[in-house]
Structure 1
Amino acid sequence: MRASRAAALAALVLAAGTVLPSAATASAAEGPQVGVDSTWFPVSNYRILDTRVGNGAPSGKVGPDGVVKLDIRKILGLTSGATPTAVVMNVTAVGATDESFVTAYPDGGALPTVSNLNVSPAHQVTTNRVTVQVGTDGFVDLYNHVGNVHLVVDLQGFYTAKGANGYPGATFTLGTPARLLDTRTEVGGHPGKLTGGEDGVFQMDVSSVAPGGGDLVVQATVTEPTQPAHLTMYPALQAPWRTSDVNFDAGQTVTNLSYVYAGRDGLALYTNSGATHVVIDYIGQFQNHGLSGDAGTHGLFVPANPTRVLDTRKGLGAPQAKPGPGSTTRVKVTGLNGVPEGVAAVVINLTGTNADQDGHITALKAGDPVPGTSNLNYAARQDTAAMTIVPVSADGFIELYNPHGTVDLVADVQGYYTN
């Protein structure tokens, strides 16, 4: 259900947020919405914050311990009815002056000891997908730890309690992990780098996973770009959207989880400048239940309090040691902070840090064969984060496979999907 089909639910208008001087001054609200079975409502990528131009908040970088408050209810035009339980956003940091991190969390709740985005002056643009609970007052907060940084946020969709607004919404179905495109090879039909500009747009066939199109969840990776640019994915045969899915500097390898709508003619890939290799890995898709259908009980999203379940630097969730080449780290994700046994999948923010070389991590259901896909691509001696969705074994575990080098791993659970 795209925004045009959900117009009766939400008339999207831009709202202004407020920049607060410190986390301690955030408003005292009722807090997060935890444990609510929710369905998905996607919107066409919609920019709700850009501190470079005063869009959604006053113009200017967010300072140390600075918080930007986003009024999600107002942004979505929800003047009545239930408050969204969570939102999915693409959060971009631009022009960071210090090594820092950005945390998204529900207004009214305590600042959690997790991070969503790791930023550095070494890379002027850093992006990560974020799933975050919405406070009962309708606000989401973005916190910057140290230094100064611009924040840009593109809204991709929202969850509401099942049936809360009179519409069933969509539920998530895990797919078999599959590589749909790799321009370094023949996979996907585009051997060679994607070139910048509208003349370089590639129309990717997704019929193997979504005949007729649909709302897909994919892990998108760019590698070996010749210059700073961004990658945008949108329905084929449409004009390029004015938002981005992956932002990157020259020479970077960057992965980002993307919620994309593929039309009957497939998915278009556009980069605005230079040339870059692109890899697209399929994770799953949302099933639309129309305007009056029954969403059922499977594939519902349930927000959880952001919880760190793994930190190999501290021996949390695994031995206190860097996972080495060819290693598999087994992580318990259920039975912790409201995530019950028997869930289908968890939404996690996965971070690689203290790596001795560039590499990647594949996240999978514990006990399954390692697929030929990746969920996080990390760089040597840098903190690199990516959100992903990982299927969970019957006994509540996921596995993280590291094929090369040594790297510390950190994983934060944001929520889960019902079985």
Structure 2
Amino acid sequence: MADDGEEFEFEYTKVTKTTRTINQRRLSQRQESEDKAPEPKFRTLYGRDPKEFENVDVEKLLGQLTADELAQLSEEVDPDDNLLPPSQRCKDQTSKSATGPLNRKQLLTFLTKFAQEQEDWPELKPFQSGVKRGKIFEPKEQETTNSSDEKIILDLDDGTEEALDDASEADLVDLAGILGLHSMLNQDQFHNSILNKGQRLGTDKFESIVKAPVPRKLPFEPDNITDPEATAKQVIANDPNLTELNWNNIKFVPRETFKKMFAGLKQNTHLKTLHLSNTGLTDGPAEVLVEALKENTTLRTISLESNYLSGPMLRTLIQALLVQQRVLEFRACNQRPIVMGNRIEMEIAKAVEQNKTLLRLGLCFDVPCARQKVTDHIQNNNDNIRLKRIGSYEG
């Protein structure tokens, strides 16, 4: 089959009754090879020169054929010739009439029964139980050398050799740890050697077994006893003693309490740190926080981790920081919608690039471009503060 319009020639060679070999060659290559190759002895087709068939009228010849001859000729058509219609390339050779619609179950039953009734192919050697055929695999013999017989020759000074002869096994374990021979020591022996703690009794041997240390039982952290209603009233009243508000891990905080506290942030001038991690905060009360961030000028740290804020709400909160640009740290990881999306993350990165005061941002980005932009800009903000501090020292 030729897609570039070049001519091809097919040479048919009958191998068996049911198989046929098709050798495809380009006419241009054939002509070149014929020019170089010697003239063949037999150059005839059915006893005639092939050039005589070039001007034969094919339509006239087809008109002289009978129906049986045309049917036989159609079976000889090359199925890979894309110049023929599919009806001629894939001719239906079924002579039986249809017995009805396709019944898949009945067809599978017939094929299974037909396969079981077929005789097995004759084998050259009949199967015999317990008889191994072919060459049996035999692994190559490997030369085994006794490692204990090998001697290691070290060029040591006289004093060093005498010290090693008189050293105990505990001293040798310490020496192996100092030299960094990890494969000869376990973890406890190596750390005791590096920290110069001395080997414990029973572990000063090279064949000692490492045992996992028993973990210490730490007490559970106490529950957060902060009263949300009382502290919300302090925020609304602008209490000067309240500079840090921690509602972390307080479950079932009412939505109205969130809204009242966020509304009080608009006029609050003393609160600097706001922790609201794992409090069940959603987008509804967070809309009031967006308006508060646009007016508050004292907040420096905001933590909203492990809540139920959506990607668009996180984007809106970070964009709200651009109005005053006073917040230094904003954390909002581990929200319920894990994936924010490419568009949301790029918009957050664009908002962060416009913020000149943000020094730390706690968000997980899936888009590498957004993550790189945020990292570079926050690094630039930290570098600017460092340069100002150095300049003030020099002045």
Is the structural similarity TM-score above 0.5?
no
Bigger radius of gyration, 1 or 2?
2
Using the size of structure 1 for normalisation, the TM-score is 0.19
Structure richer in strand, relative to its length: 1
- Structure with higher RCO (Cα < 8 A, 6+ apart): 1
Structure richer in helix, relative to its length: 2
